[in-house]
């Protein structure tokens, strides 16, 4: 009898093992098959063809460096010096970088013994170590050079455009313009633009040195020039971050305020009418299901782009989420405390205030603060769609496809902002309801 029993048990155990083994291998196998399907559905083999590695290199190098353009307009012969080639970064009249010399013949020293000379009559001479001297003549729409037919891969040349890329900088020649780009590490003009008298001054000199601008005190002048920096737009960036946080704050708190009474309506304990309960719950499901994206689209039609639209989109979506969470918390309240309050002769409203609210406040606050942090991230994304806050600035900077240092700056700021909100909501939670452990 014992043998039979054991056999049966062994059989059972082996079957169980087999099933476990099947799950153990089957589950990863299903995932692997799914990945294979995705590999082809997302056309990953074709990705290599579509990916633009040149973009990646520009992005990586531009995000931590800047370039100074020396441009000769071949029609007027005028030479301009500008950081990133922008009007805002142009050197004032009569000033130029110290690696440019000469008057009739402009000599540009890119470093590494690479010398570019702008000669009169739109001629250009380029000296590159280990390569023949290059001479170019711009005429009308064409560029004539003495380049050989057999070119290294860092030179591209046609009769319309010549591009030379070296480790020290780039040179492009077209009929209309001759340009030299000299690369330097760092974010140029981050503190002051070139037209500010404080440009190039050391911190110590601004703080303790003589007055630089006769009209203004050093510190107020420096702060105001930095704040109104046209290149990096610190003022706008600060406003944008403020807008993003404001969207998250207004949306989260507004949703909580609206969801709390509705939560009572949806909780079985406090809302005896089935119909009301079901209607409220369906409302929560509906606003949650429509999702912030569609709300943003719909609201942007009514209110136009801006932070208010984003805040309302967050508010409406989160009313559904909060309503669901709150009503669940309300169903789990302890009846004893309510009875205790009722035994003192408290009226219904007082029973809610002193019997119910104290029980659910910790849950509510924890959720609200968690959502505050998470909505800061959502607000960045919604801002990119609806046109407000730092999300919009980021999208714009990426779309112009040249200010990668600004993109890097915004990304750093966004991450710092989210981490700050994370820390802040954790801190506030600790203050209000005590640490979790």
Residues of the shown chain interacting with another protein in the complex, contacts defined by CB under 8 A: 31, 34-35, 38, 41-44, 47, 50-53, 55-56, 59, 239, 243, 246-247, 249-250, 253-254, 285, 288-294, 297-299, 301-309, 311, 377, 380-382, 384-385, 387-388, 391, 394-395, 398, 401, 407, 411, 414-415, 418-419, 422
Q: Which is nearer to another protein, 219 or 415 (CB)?
A: 415
Q: Which is nearer to another protein, 321 or 359 (CB)?
A: 321
Tokens of 125: 């001479």
- Whether the CB-CB separation of 334 and 351 falls below 8 Å is answered with no
Q: Which is nearer to another protein, 212 or 297 (CB)?
A: 297
Q: Which is nearer to another protein, 53 or 273 (CB)?
A: 53
Q: Which is nearer to another protein, 68 or 256 (CB)?
A: 256
Q: How far apart are the first and last CA of the chain?
A: 55
| Pick from 47, 119, 46: nearest CA to 77 | 119
Minimum distance from residue 71 beta carbon to another protein (Å): 26
Minimum distance from residue 168 beta carbon to another protein (Å): 25
Residue with tokens 């989160």: 318
Minimum distance from residue 80 beta carbon to another protein (Å): 28
- Whether the CB-CB separation of 239 and 298 falls below 8 Å is answered with no
Residue with tokens 């000769």: 72
Q: Which is nearer to another protein, 212 or 308 (CB)?
A: 308
Alpha carbon distance 432, 27 (integer Å):
44
DSSP single-letter state for residue 88: G
Minimum distance from residue 306 beta carbon to another protein (Å): 3
| Pick from 376, 380, 382, 390: nearest CA to 294 | 382
Alpha carbon distance 126, 372 (integer Å):
58
Minimum distance from residue 253 beta carbon to another protein (Å): 6
Minimum distance from residue 95 beta carbon to another protein (Å): 34
- Whether the CB-CB separation of 244 and 379 falls below 8 Å is answered with yes
Q: Which is nearer to another protein, 189 or 379 (CB)?
A: 379
Report the side by side order of strands in the sheet with 100-101.
100-101, 106-111, 114-119, 123-127, 134-139, 142-145
Minimum distance from residue 343 beta carbon to another protein (Å): 20
Neighbours of 146 (CB within 10 A): 10
Minimum distance from residue 371 beta carbon to another protein (Å): 12
| Pick from 52, 168, 86: nearest CA to 405 | 86
- Whether the CB-CB separation of 165 and 54 falls below 8 Å is answered with no
Tokens of 192: 């002051």
Minimum distance from residue 263 beta carbon to another protein (Å): 17
Burial of residue 328, with CB atoms counted within 10 A of its CB: 0-12 exposed, 13-18 middle, 19 or more buried: middle
Measure CA 280 to chain center: 37
Minimum distance from residue 50 beta carbon to another protein (Å): 4
Alpha carbon distance 403, 411 (integer Å):
13
DSSP single-letter state for residue 197: T
Alpha carbon distance 336, 357 (integer Å):
14
Q: Which is nearer to another protein, 84 or 225 (CB)?
A: 84
Minimum distance from residue 47 beta carbon to another protein (Å): 6
Q: Which is nearer to another protein, 206 or 298 (CB)?
A: 298
């Amino acid at each position: 009898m014992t043998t039979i029993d054991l056999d049966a048990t062994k059989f059972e155990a082996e079957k169980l093992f087999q099933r476990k083994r099947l799950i153990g291998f089957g589950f990863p196998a299903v995932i692997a098959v799914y990945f294979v399907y995705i590999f082809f559905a997302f056309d990953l083999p074709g990705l290599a063809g579509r990916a633009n590695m040149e973009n990646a290199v520009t992005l990586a190098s531009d995000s931590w460096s800047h370039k100074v353009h020396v441009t000769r307009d071949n029609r007027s012969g005028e030479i301009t010096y500008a950081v990133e080639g922008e009007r805002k970064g142009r050197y004032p009249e009569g000033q130029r970088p110290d690696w440019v010399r000469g008057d009739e013949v402009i000599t540009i020293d890119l470093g590494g013994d690479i010398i570019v000379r702008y000669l009169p009559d739109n001629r250009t001479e380029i000296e590159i170590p280990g390569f023949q001297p290059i001479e170019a003549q711009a005429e009308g729409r064409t560029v004539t050079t003495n380049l050989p037919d057999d070119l290294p891969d860092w030179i591209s040349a046609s009769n319309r455009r010549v591009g030379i890329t070296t480790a020290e900088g780039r040179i492009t020649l077209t009929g209309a313009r001759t340009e030299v780009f000299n690369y330097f590490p760092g974010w140029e003009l981050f503190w002051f633009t070139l037209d500010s008298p404080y440009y190039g001054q050391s911190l110590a000199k601004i703080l303790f040195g003589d007055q630089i601008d006769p009209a203004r005190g050093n510190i107020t002048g420096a702060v105001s020039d930095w704040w109104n920096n046209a290149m990096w737009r610190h003022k706008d960036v600060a406003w944008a971050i403020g807008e993003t946080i404001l969207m998250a704050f207004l949306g989260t708190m507004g949703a909580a305020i609206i969801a709390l009474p509705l939560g009572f309506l949806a909780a079985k304990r406090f809302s005896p009418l089935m119909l009301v309960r079901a209607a409220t719950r369906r409302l929560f499901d509906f606003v949650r299901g429509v999702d912030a994206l569609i709300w943003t689209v719909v609201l942007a039609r009514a209110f136009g782009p801006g932070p208010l639209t984003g805040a309302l989109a967050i508010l409406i979506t989160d009313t559904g989420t909060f309503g669901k969470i709150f009503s669940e918390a309300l169903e789990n309240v302890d009846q004893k405390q309510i009875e205790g309050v009722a035994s003192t002769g408290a009226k219904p409203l007082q029973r809610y205030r002193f019997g119910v609210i104290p029980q659910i406040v910790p849950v509510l606050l924890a959720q609200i603060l968690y959502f505050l942090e998470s909505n800061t991230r959502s607000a960045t994304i919604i801002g990119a769609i609806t046109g407000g806050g730092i999300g919009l600035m980021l999208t714009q900077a990426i779309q112009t496809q040249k200010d990668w240092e600004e993109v890097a700056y915004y990304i750093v700021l966004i991450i710092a902002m989210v981490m700050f909100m994370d820390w802040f909501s954790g801190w506030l939670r600790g203050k209000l309801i005590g640490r979790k452990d």
